[in-house]
Amino acid sequence: MTVNLLILGGTTEARRLASAVAEAGLRGTVSLAGRVERPAPQGLPLRSGGFGGIAGLAGYLRETAVTHVIDGTHPFAAQMSANAVAACAETGVPLLALTRPAWEQGPEDHWIRVPDIAGAVAELDRPAARVMLAVGRMHLAEFAPNPQHAYLLRLVDPPAEPLPFPEHHVVVDRGPFTRDADLKLLTDHRIELVVSKNAGGSGARAKIDAARALGLPVIMIDRPAIPPRAEAHSVEAALAWLHGATERGV
Ligand code: 3Y8
Ligand code: NAP
């Protein structure tokens, strides 16, 4: 069977998979939501924007005769992943998730684990501190109830609207980040507390390694629930699945 792969992208691992698929001479497309102004080149043709829910994705799979879907989205992109499980079940297109194991707390880590964004907001109901809020842009408004803190924000694009924090400093940057650069960032801004999603992978963990080196506490947000699906934790395993699936003719 001729492969026509759809990669749901937006992570370092998805981009690396796309390059490997292109090098293998297989046909594939990377899909992004269109969240940022200048997405990184993906090594395969790119489509951008929502599909229109489960029905929209199922329609896309049929119309473009996709033979396999690899969901390489971020662990917090739970809606996209749930839609992929449903649309692939409906259309019979084989689905594999390429996802990263959650970060584990080490002996020198000072983590305060919370179940979700609301848990992180509740945890910030404490006396004023210098906080690195490294959760991106989309959920910033939820953090408005704690204006007492001085926030260091890292955003992929400059903020389009005023931010709900009287005292804040914005760094416009995209990852993957490095431990040394984040060590300097936390030190220069005299950060006392870091707020982070448990993204897993290497691209976002620099701030966690830097916080550990500085002995700083981290409010660590656990991942949202995602329906069960086949999973791989490396590009090599994802490619093996793809080759295996094509040999089996599924
Ligand atoms: C549009 C596509 C690659 C992929 C790079 C990874 C690593 C660097 C670290 C911090 C944490 C954060 C954020 C982050 C990281 C990788 C990966 C990752 C975290 C790009 C990209 C898109 C997005 C969307 C963006 C979100 C935001 C989240 C910033 C490309 C650069 C905070 C997640 O302004 C916005 O609307 C931003 C939205 C979703 C979370 C949020 O709620 O704001 N990612 N990030 C994707 C699309 O349109 O479909 O240009 O590369 C991708 C990457 N961002 O090629 O190596 O694999 O995780 N992304 C988090 O983990 O908390 C930054 O600052 O320390
Ligand atoms: P989400 O909340 O799970 O998805 C909301 C809706 O956005 C989806 O239902 C879908 O719209 C659209 N969408 C999401 N990802 C898409 C993709 N790759 N291609 C096409 N449409 C997509 O997703 P999110 O958390 O906003 O994440 C959006 C993108 O940013 C994803 O590519 C993700 O990998 C990347 N990202 C997210 C985070 C994060 O912290 N959430 C971190 C790093 C990268 P329709 O229902 O209309 O199809």
Quick one: pLDDT at residue 245? 74
Quick one: pLDDT at residue 203? 87
Complete edge-to-edge strand list for the sheet that includes strand 68-71: 46-48, 27-32, 4-8, 68-71, 95-98, 231-232
Is the Cβ–Cβ distance between 205 and 103 less than 8 Å? yes
Q: Is the CB of 176 under 6 A from ligand 1?
A: yes
Q: The domain at 4-101+225-247 falls in which architecture?
A: 3-Layer(aba) Sandwich (3.40)
Same fold, 4-101+225-247 and 110-221: yes
68-71/231-232 β-pairing: unpaired
Q: Is the CB of 19 under 6 A from ligand 2?
A: no
- Residue to substitute in 16, 35, 42, 172 for testing ligand 1 pocket (most ligand atoms within 8 angstroms of CB): 35
The rounded Å distance from CA 11 to ligand 1 centre is 7
Is the Cβ–Cβ distance between 46 and 22 less than 8 Å? no
Region 110-221: CATH code: 3.40.50.720
Q: Is the CB of 35 under 6 A from ligand 2?
A: yes
Which residues of the chain are modeled with pLDDT < 50? none
Quick one: pLDDT at residue 250? 58
Q: What angle do CA 118, 85, 101 make, to 5 degrees?
A: 60
Neighbours of 115 (CB within 10 A): 11
The rounded Å distance from CA 207 to ligand 2 centre is 23
Q: Could you state, in order of their start, the residue ranges of all structural domains in the chain?
A: 4-101+225-247, 110-221
Tokens of 49: 């924007």
Quick one: pLDDT at residue 249? 63
- Residue to substitute in 15, 61, 73, 195 for testing ligand 2 pocket (most ligand atoms within 8 angstroms of CB): 73
Among the bound ligands, name the one nearest to the CA of residue 77: 2
pLDDT tens figures, 175-195: 899 999 999 999 999 999 999
Quick one: pLDDT at residue 167? 96
- Please report, to the nearest 10 degrees, the dihedral formed by the alpha carbons of residues 138, 144, 147, 149 taken in order: -40
